[in-house]
Structure 1
């Protein structure tokens, strides 16, 4: 098939399908269609129509959940048990966006507070910002698209979404559901390409009012630097999420959530547990328990219901993560577990006290490993947790409320989870990286705010 993108199963690299790609001409057609739809204010959908489309899309997705679950597992390599959760979240996200419109409104601005403002009534209304360009990542190939597209549809922005080249099928299937639910194609389109230059043209076109980017910090910050004046954006990158295990914590109670947060989707999550700082008095017990639980993780084909850890998205990623582990091992780091299951799949590992300058200590691994470091003073652990250029979500496990709140106040993070892992998220809570980890705020209601603008209307009613 000419001009097609080959999509492979992440686990065994078997070909799933060949997806037609877009070129420069099709990008121009889609941008013109989106800009034209937005320019026709009489054609804007009323809130009740947008609510109806979002709810109908949720119903259609529910009816095809098995198909979407298997698609996520195949193209993205996410274990089926977690793919089931992703589809459930996606359905809820559509409903959440529809429900949010019941309270999505402006407010009255008080007048008459001075003589000059007397006899006036002022209020704000919400308007869509304009055309949205959404560039997405592979690791949640359905739900990340929901995070970007559902808010745009809800507020009335035409959206062009570019899925990751490795996982476009979930996105294409979802957009077709929006069309089936009654949304005109001009209001929700896809750009399928592995051409970075074409993706950059989408992001930086002057007709785009808002860029939603989920992916690497290097690409996100580069695109932000290229945006035309006035274009707004939200960037969601990653980090090396820290977890502190306070001396009052009970290792028996906390291993399960830490393992879930660290090895879920083979660690390919932007807030995956990566750096675990454990009080020295607990180190031996904690490591023994962590080693035992990690050894029990079932690794293999993501389409099998029992699989807990599947492949990395590309074989080259297994090579990269393996090289980082080897670097740490060469520096004397103790490695627990690890090894290779297949070309695409690594066995989970634990690295004990890797050097501070090792890649696994200072960069986002995006692989099935965690690093454990000992500490004696809580403030020292907090300083180490805050020492990188990334700041997203963090957590502390503690049975001492004083220590927990002490850490919560001092950890440099957009969210501090107490007695929970760093990868916890609901789709209606704010989700944002600080510093190099991101810009703007995610989460469906918060993204709706980002994709809208307030317009103030002032009525002079002097008789």
Structure 2
């Protein structure tokens, strides 16, 4: 019988945590909890798993990942319903997340087979003509992966897939709010043939995560989440590799030569996808003065057509935010901005955890709504007079993941790409576009590493150089 990927605290009577629907509060599942005292045993299991993972051939790693992808594809509706139940993401959006996770695992399988290292041209340097060699990519060992609630399947796949491809063991700590999708992925990987110790899923509180992060056997911490948690991890981790995908505050510039229809459609989707709980979601839309009125009219019209409510409904566009506390926090920011002169021009209607799509203008640039990550279904409109002003507004925050610009001028597009400080610039698309094979990460404050399968794989492996000095005429040659 295969060893379970789920490691409870106690061998006999583990404690359990119920998982609640953010829409109606019903219990949708439960997971066993671990305590800080269990971490030494968890790490010992992972040490054994790291040896198992390293011993797997690249073909074997790739096959496990490919087979797991095929299994998820065959159970896509079950996975989508689980995502919707625990995260509140609408069922149509959840189905797309499942397809992305399938692709992420397939890309990981391909990376396992492809990215083995390179030959090194030693003879390109005078005095090294008699040397031949290469470097390989070797596993780091044990990766601690800490994932958020907003993409509870695909963001787990983005950490687990490349880690397995690289021959590592993984201790996975998914969000306490959305652990079920992660557990389903782990179970599928086990069924696909992943050795039992390679992936361990741990459910617990902050103290459990801190104990894992602090443990010296952990070679890397891969974290996706907020800045305050990222800072706490950095203080706790000690001397180990850190890769963090932290928050964003995405600007999108709409120039006066833009296709307004395309810009409006992309920005409405980018602002309110997953109830705005998206680190690259559109937050600040900067529109040229001459087209501001028309853009505003079209944007409000399309926003008004969105349906908010039960995420299981096939026609629902915007589901609930993850918790009542998250809604309260965002509502306080909206109230503070309004008190300082901002105007709500759409939405700001709350029904339990569902906040209807909300649009503001005249938001003070010093308000928290403008300077911090919104992470909810709220977007701000702001006119600008010149391109340079738009770029200055786009860059006037301390951190950035993606930005976007809509223009019919290739010169303007390339100028924006060179002058906007962000991890990615989407031209004639909203900031929330992401292909799972591209590098993904932040700029400025908090920029630590990159995700995207190939790039995460390289973060999770290290080069090893092999150099052979030729021995002809100097004794016995190397034997095969």
1:18 aligns with 2:30: yes
Instruction: Report matched runs for 1:30-429 at 5 Å.
Output: 30-39=42-51, 44-113=55-124, 116-193=127-204, 195-229=205-239, 231-429=240-438
CA deviations on 1:6-43 (whole Å, 9 max, x unpaired) are 210111111112211112343222211111332468x6
Instruction: Report matched runs for 1:435-454 at 5 Å.
Output: 435-454=444-463
Deviation at 1:340, TM superposition (A): 3.0
> In the aligned structure 1, how far is the partner of 2:132 from the partner of 2:155?
41
Report which stretch shifted further, 430-439 or 287-296.
430-439
Cα pair distance change 1:284/1:103, threshold 3 Å: same
Cα pair distance change 1:39/1:102, threshold 3 Å: closer
> In the aligned structure 1, how far is the partner of 2:384 from the partner of 2:350?
33
CA deviations on 1:422-446 (whole Å, 9 max, x unpaired) are 0000100000101224310100111
CA deviations on 1:192-222 (whole Å, 9 max, x unpaired) are 01x2121011112100111100001111122
> In the aligned structure 2, how far is the partner of 1:405 from the partner of 1:126?
35
8 Å contact from structure 1 (residues 217, 438) kept in 2: no
CA deviations on 1:439-463 (whole Å, 9 max, x unpaired) are 1010011100000011001112212
The alignment yields a C-alpha RMSD, in angstroms, of: 1.5
Cα pair distance change 1:118/1:333, threshold 3 Å: closer
Cα pair distance change 1:114/1:413, threshold 3 Å: closer
8 Å contact from structure 2 (residues 52, 198) kept in 1: no
Deviation at 1:171, TM superposition (A): 0.5
| Structure 2 unmatched runs, 5+ | 1-12, 473-480
> In the aligned structure 1, how far is the partner of 2:354 from the partner of 2:146?
26
8 Å contact from structure 1 (residues 337, 348) kept in 2: yes
> In the aligned structure 1, how far is the partner of 2:193 from the partner of 2:109?
15
> In the aligned structure 2, how far is the partner of 1:126 from the partner of 1:331?
54
> In the aligned structure 2, how far is the partner of 1:114 from the partner of 1:250?
53
8 Å contact from structure 1 (residues 249, 398) kept in 2: yes
Deviation at 1:112, TM superposition (A): 3.5
> In the aligned structure 2, how far is the partner of 1:21 from the partner of 1:130?
25
SS at match of 2:67: helix
8 Å contact from structure 1 (residues 392, 414) kept in 2: yes
CA deviations on 1:228-283 (whole Å, 9 max, x unpaired) are 32x11210011110011111113223111000100000110001100111111111
8 Å contact from structure 1 (residues 262, 272) kept in 2: yes
TM-score by length of 2: 0.93
> In the aligned structure 2, how far is the partner of 1:148 from the partner of 1:135?
9
SS at match of 1:112: helix
| Structure 1 unmatched runs, 5+ | none
8 Å contact from structure 2 (residues 120, 134) kept in 1: yes
> In the aligned structure 2, how far is the partner of 1:112 from the partner of 1:283?
60
SS at match of 1:439: coil
> In the aligned structure 2, how far is the partner of 1:155 from the partner of 1:316?
38
